[in-house]
Every structure is written in C-alpha cells, then in structure tokens.
Amino acid sequence: MLVLLHLFALFLLVLLGFYVFVANPRNRAHQTFAAFIAFLALWTIKDLIFWNFHDDNADSGWWAAASFIIALLMQCALVVFAWVFPENARTPRKLAAIIFAPSLILIPAALFGLLWRKVGFTDGRFEIDLAPLAYAFVVYVYLVFGYGGIVLFRKYRKYRSTQKGQQVGAILWALVVTGILKTLANIVFPFLGLYSMLPYSAIFVLPGVLIYAYAISNFKLFSLENALDQFRLFPITYKIALSIASVAIISFILFQIPIVYWAFQEGTTFDAWRKYLVFSVISALVPNLLLLLLVVRTISRPLERITLAALQVTEGGYGTEVDLRKSNDEIGLLADSFNEMSRKMANDIKQLQQLNEQLIRTEKLAAMGTLAAGVAHEVNNPLASISSLIQMMQSKGDLDEKTTENLKLVQTQIRRITQVTKDMMEFARVRPAAKSEVDVNALIEKSLRLASFDKSFQKLAIEKELAADLPSLFVDGDQLQQVFLNLFLNARDALPAGGRIFVRTARLTGELVIEIADSGTGIAPENLKKIFDPFFTTKAAGKGTGLGLAVCYGIVTAHGGKIEVSEQESGGTKFTITFPVAKSNG
C-alpha cells in the first residue's frame, strides 16, 4: 500500500510541476516552482526506495543525508520564489549569498554524516539519534522557511484586495498547511519516538503543493476554461512528453515484462541476466525508433518545410506559403504566422511596385508636359506664318489647278499639325480644379448623351448598372466629364464593327468605384503597363496622339483617385476608376 501511495505522489508531483512549468517556462515563479517540485520528487523517490526496498541491515546514512539536504534545498527554492513572485522580479544575488551561505557548511556536514550518531533499524524498528549539529541544521531550515513566509506576507499586505494579493494569500495558506504537517511527521513525532508517520511525510506535502500550484496558475488550474485553452493550444512540449510517456509505458508492457518473465523463469542466474540484458537492448531499439519517427514528424519535418519556404522568400519568392497540416501547437502557429507574413509581404511589395510605377508615370507626365508646351509653342508660330502665306497664295486667281490642289493638301496637313499641338498644349496646361459636389451617375449620363451625338457611338449597345446609394464626389465636374468622354470614345474606336459598352458604379468600403468596359479586341498584356504613358497609342497612324489616357490619368490622380486598366475574361478592356469617399466628400 505504501509503495502505491509513493508512486501516486511521485506521478502527481511530476505531472503538476511539468504542467505549471510549461504553462509559462520563461516566468521566474514558474521556474522556481518547477525546482521546488523537482526537490520534492527527489524526496519522494528517496522515501520510496528507503521505506519499501531498503534492507534493514544496510547503512541508512544516505537516507538521512538526503533528507537533510533536500529539505534545505526546498526552503531555498521557497525563498527564491518569495523574491520573484508575483512581479517576476530578479533574485537579489547579494542577499541570497548572505542568506544561503550557511548551506556551504551544513550540506557537507550532512554528506559526511556529522548530523547523527546513529540511524537505521534495530529489531525491525527505525531509530535515529541526532547530533547537536543536526538541531542547528533544523533551526536554520526553519529560519529560511520563516524568512520566505515573511517576504510573502509583506507582499500580501502590499497587494491586498487584488488578484495578486489573493494569489499570495493562497500560497501563505499552503505554507501553513505544509509546515504543520511536515513538522508533525518529521520533527514532533520522531522527537517523541514515534516514527510510524515518517514514511508518509512526502504524502503530507501534496495538499500544500496543490494550493501552491493553484495560486500560481491564477486559480485556473482545475478550471474548464483553462483546460479548453490548453486543448486549443497544445504545445509541442506536451506532445513530446505524452509521446515519450506513451511509448515508454507501451514498450514496458509489450517488451520488458515478457522479457523479464522469460529470462528469469528459472532463477536469477548469470545466463538469465545475459538473456535479459541482450534482449532488453534489442527491444529498446523499437520504441527508440518510434520516438525518433514521432520527433521527426512533429518537429523536424515541419521546421524543414518552414525553412525552405523562408529561403524561397529571401530569394524573391514573395507570397510563398508553407503547406502544413493544421496543428494547434507552436509550429502550427509559426506556419500560419509565416504564411500571413509572406502574403502581406507580397501584397506590400506589389503595392510598392504600383506606387513606383505611378511615381515614374507622374514624373514622365510632368517632363512630357513641359516638353510638349515648348514644342507646341515653337511649332505653332512657323505654322501660323505658313498658313498665312498659303491663304495669300490661294487669294490670287492666277493659280493653275494642280497648284491649287497642292495648296489645299498642305493646308489640310497644317490643320492636322495644329490639332496635335493643341492637344499637346491641353496636356501641358495645368489649371486649378473648380471642385464642387458632383453626382457621379448624373455626370456619366451626361457624358453618354454627349458621346451619342457621334454616329459610330450610336451603333453600340450601352449597358448600365448604376448604384443608387452613391455619395457625392467633391471634384471638378468638367475634368471628370472629360475623363468619361475620353474612355467612351476610346471604347467606340475599339468597336468599329459594333459591340457593347458596360458602365457600372458601386460603393465599396470607403471607396466609390466606376467601371467602364467594352467587348472589343482588348489590349495586349505587354501594353497594359504602358497604356497611360504620354504619346503611347495602339491606334493606327493618324488616328490618335496617345495623350488622351495620359490626361485621364493626370486628372484622376490629381483628385486623389486611382485609374487602372485590365483585360476581361470574356474579351475587351475594362477601366476601373476609384475615389476614396472620405477624402472626396466635401
């Protein structure tokens, strides 16, 4: 019965210490609690071996030495805990050196057996005769214990009526319970010659330890909420611990018990021991290989995939994601965070590239505007002179028919050049926008009416999907109408044999979106990025100057909007104009 109690206590201590430590391994209070549990587990193992398997005739000094030393180390852990909890403060090293200095003398004294005159069994009855130094040892242990209690009591008064105060108060109760039970079992009863409770001293500590752990874990140690939290986030440490424990227990049942039975069924001979050692080594390979497989599957393989994905990102593969099975441990969270980071990085880089393209296009527009203004000015003056001379020559009536025809041809070309220079002047001219509240749907309807005066435009089918809940835009209505007209006429040019123009407006989150699409032949993918560049055109020679879309781009961006072009899956081109509603509303 006693061995089962010791095993139960040992199992509970290891489980409790592991659980509290893994919950917050970087917290000093949790680390100190784990150290305290480790010393207490050693105390339990010591009692388990001594009271259940010790030979009465063998030396018992090791048990006495271990009892004194472990008791002292547990009180040292208690004092360190009192210093660091609940603030997660650092240990005062100078003070610790002063308080723990006597341990440098007392621990060697215990190791060399200077604390007792006699310890062991006499006629089956345990007895111990302590030396005077042992009483000094015990007094020192209780002084350290009392100092830790005083430090915690001061903190209790400091944090009273708070969560921290409740935690410290619960720990003080744990110290009182543990101190009373341990004193009765280890000091009072043995002093009176009653040693029957000494084997149960490790069991008496458990109530205090449970209260101790309960307080550290913010009173959530046994709560359903905390259990669900642990289930949602199942740390790798738990997985490895469960894997090792499961493999050890299963391998013990499947291999060790049958091997022991088979090897020692004829007695503990040399040949039996040889059989046991050889086949134990062989049987150990199977669980070790299984553990290796579990570790590789749980840790190594996922980390390798995350590493390879990270290398791809460093080589420019932005947006690379790790393909891992969903897991609720640290690696699963790491993979999800990596994938989210990679997606955001790819999106941010794409936005930076778009901003860079917009900056380049804006600079190009500014440079071309300055150049266009200069060229138009220099060309218009000679053209005006040439046009005047031609008119003077045409006013004379003595020109033959061929000369008259040639002059008409020259005059036509002059008008064409004049129109080009006029477009260049319009492109270069910067006039302040006369902004006012504008109904976008009404402006689109007006632009469609103006475009419908064109005979080619009248042949096209117009499909409209205009949202009724659009806010007004604070823009220059004339300039925005120029943008719409330009896009409608461009769509007309892309549909010489007739077709469909689709116009849509909508309000998205914080944005007003205008889409103008056609069912024409579309724009080659390599030309999409150049479509807003000045003087770039896909029209035939003499059909366009390549300034219309550049002007549209300048107008939209000057109003804080964005204009984009894309291909439609069904064929044709779609222009998307976006204005921020918050900035646009006056």
| Per-residue pLDDT tens digits for 85-101 | 888 888 999 999 999 99
Question: What's the CATH architecture for 327-430?
Answer: Orthogonal Bundle (1.10)
Listed in order, the ranges of the chain carrying CATH 1.20.1070.10 are 2-222
Model confidence band, residue 227 (pLDDT cutoffs 50, 70, 90): very low
Q: Which residue has the higher pLDDT, 79 or 164?
A: 79
Please check the confidence at residue 536 and state whether its pLDDT lies above 70. Answer: no
Q: Give mean pLDDT, residues 210-232.
A: 59
pLDDT digits (tens, 9 = 90+) for 356-369: 766 665 666 556 65
Could you tell me what percent of the chain has a pLDDT over 90? Answer: 16
**Chain-wide mean pLDDT for the chain?**
80
Give ranges for CATH 3.30.565.10 in the chain: 433-584
pLDDT for the residue numbered 221: 52
Assess whether pLDDT exceeds 50 at residue 183.
Answer: yes
Lowest average pLDDT, out of 21-25, 425-429, 466-470, goes to 425-429
Considering only 85-94, 166-175, 199-208, 214-223, which range has the smallest mean pLDDT? 214-223
Q: What pLDDT is recorded for position 537?
A: 67
Q: What is the pLDDT of residues 18-76, one digit of tens each?
A: 777 777 777 888 888 888 888 988 988 988 888 888 887 888 899 999 999 999 999 99
Q: Is the pLDDT of residue 209 over 70?
A: yes
> Looking at residue 527, what is its pLDDT?
75
Q: Name the more confident of 425 and 573.
A: 573
Please report the pLDDT score of residue 150 as a whole number.
Answer: 94
- Give the pLDDT band (50/70/90) at residue 586: very low
pLDDT at 584: 44
Query: What pLDDT shows up at residue 426?
Result: 59
Q: What is the pLDDT of residue 142?
A: 93
Q: CATH number for the 2-222 domain, one of 1.10.287.610, 3.30.70.3420, 1.20.1070.10, 2.40.30.10?
A: 1.20.1070.10
Pairwise pLDDT comparison (235 vs 335), residue with the higher score: 335
Give ranges for CATH 1.10.287 in the chain. Answer: 327-430
State the Cα–Cα distance between residues 85 and 149, nearest whole angstrom.
12
| pLDDT at position 577 | 93
Could you tell me the pTM of the whole model? Answer: 0.54
Q: What integer pLDDT is reported at residue 165 of this predicted model?
A: 86
**Looking at residues 77-86, what average pLDDT do you find?**
91
pLDDT tens per residue across span 292-330: 777 777 777 788 888 888 888 888 888 888 887 777 667
What's the rounded mean pLDDT across residues 504-516? 89
More confident residue, 373 or 8: 8
Is pLDDT above 80 for 344?
A: yes
Q: Does residue 280 have a pLDDT over 90? A: no
Q: What is the pLDDT of residue 76?
A: 93
pLDDT at 249: 78
Residues 50, 155: Cα–Cα separation, whole Å: 39
Output the CA–CA distances (angstroms, integers) from residue 538 to 118, 451, 467, 522, in the order listed.
108, 21, 32, 10
In this prediction, residue 228 carries a pLDDT of: 44
pLDDT score for 403: 79
| Pairwise CA distance, residues 246 & 259, whole Å | 19
Q: What is the pLDDT of residue 373?
A: 63
Provide the pLDDT confidence category of residue 82 given band limits of 50, 70 and 90. very high
Least Cα distance to 78 among 218, 209, 186, 200 occurs for: 209
pLDDT value, residue 29: 85
What dotted CATH number matches 433-584?
3.30.565.10
Q: What was the pLDDT predicted at 367?
A: 60
CA distance 84 to 406: 103
Report whether pLDDT(219) > 60: no
What is the CA angle 498-504-505, rounded to 5?
155
Q: Both ends of the chain: CA-CA distance in Å?
A: 85
The predicted structure's pLDDT at residue 144: 94
Q: Long-range contact list for 299-303, CB < 8 A, 24+ apart?
A: 299/236, 299/240, 299/331, 302/327, 302/331, 302/335, 303/331
pLDDT score recorded for residue 224:
44
How far is the CA of 408 from the CAs of 119, 389, 396, 405, in angstroms? 133, 12, 14, 5
Residue pair 480/538 in contact (Cβ under 8 Å)? The answer is: no
Residue 105: its pLDDT value, please?
Answer: 93
